[in-house]
């Protein structure tokens, strides 16, 4: 039986932070932040524990997976100091891993997601993906076209080039895949599901549906 977690403190804190994204409010609610962080960490621990039998997550700690809530505002016009979500990247090596892994984000108002894929692939890796798709798109299309995958994640998402990438015809039969600059799968989680007793079980079910997609992308190097 999957572990039950309580993310209400996390959601409540983030709901308060959204309209009060400043240091004074944050410091006044530091104890609420600590409780919210602990609740989110418990969620990440539960996911790691549930995934461990089928994933190489030995020795991976939740702190290695969880992103800081503090924003780097040095090069941003938006100077608000805090992210309005809590997030983690579960993979061998944690959030700094080069391997493709599972991204978890908790945001109020139905903005919570589980996601994975190539979010910011380097040019070499993106070129390799296009070469593989041009050579034989069938294995990838079988994965993303599977009924269970489509029902849960819908279409593969990501930014696309305005036209065909260099070296490819705009009339190529797989032009929509070849135009992609990001190759990601997303599933939105409503707030009510975050508070349901079967949250961990249902989240793990979704992550396992994503596994073949990630394995395929991770093999392209």
What's the pLDDT at 99? 79
Query: What digits encode the pLDDT tens for the residues 126-169?
Result: 999 999 999 999 999 999 999 999 999 999 999 999 999 999 99
221: pLDDT strictly greater than 90: no
Strand partners, 131: none
This prediction's pTM: 0.92
What's the pLDDT at 115? 97
Across the chain, what does the average pLDDT equal? 94
What's the pLDDT at 2? 64
Decide if 204 contacts 50 (C-beta within 8 A): yes
Residue with tokens 């190529």: 172
What's the pLDDT at 101? 92
Query: What digits encode the pLDDT tens for the residues 48-77?
Result: 999 988 888 878 899 999 999 999 888 888
Rounded CA separation 199/117 (Å): 22
Flag the least confident range among 20-34, 96-110, 146-160: 96-110
């Amino acid at each position: 039986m999957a572990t039950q977690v309580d993310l209400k403190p996390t959601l409540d804190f983030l709901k308060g932070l959204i309209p009060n994204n400043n240091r004074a409010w944050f410091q006044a609610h530091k104890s609420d932040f600590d409780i919210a962080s602990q609740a989110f960490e418990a969620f990440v621990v539960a996911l790691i524990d549930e995934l461990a039998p089928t994933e190489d997550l030995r020795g991976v700690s939740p702190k290695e997976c969880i992103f800081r809530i503090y924003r780097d505002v040095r090069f941003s016009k938006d100077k608000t100091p805090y992210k309005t979500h809590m997030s983690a990247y579960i993979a061998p090596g944690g959030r700094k891993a080069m391997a493709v892994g599972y991204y978890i984000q908790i945001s109020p108002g139905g903005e919570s997601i589980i996601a994975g894929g190539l979010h910011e692939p380097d040019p070499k890796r993106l070129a390799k993906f296009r070469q593989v798709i041009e050579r034989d798109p069938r294995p990838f299309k079988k994965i993303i076209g599977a009924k269970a995958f489509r029902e849960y994640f819908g279409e593969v998402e990501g930014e696309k080039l305005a036209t065909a990438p260099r070296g490819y015809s705009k009339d190529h039969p797989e032009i929509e895949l070849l135009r992609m600059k990001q190759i990601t799968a997303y599933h939105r989680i409503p707030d009510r599901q975050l508070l349901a007793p079967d949250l961990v079980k249902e989240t793990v079910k979704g992550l396992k549906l994503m596994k073949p997609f990630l394995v395929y992308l991770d093999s392209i190097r």
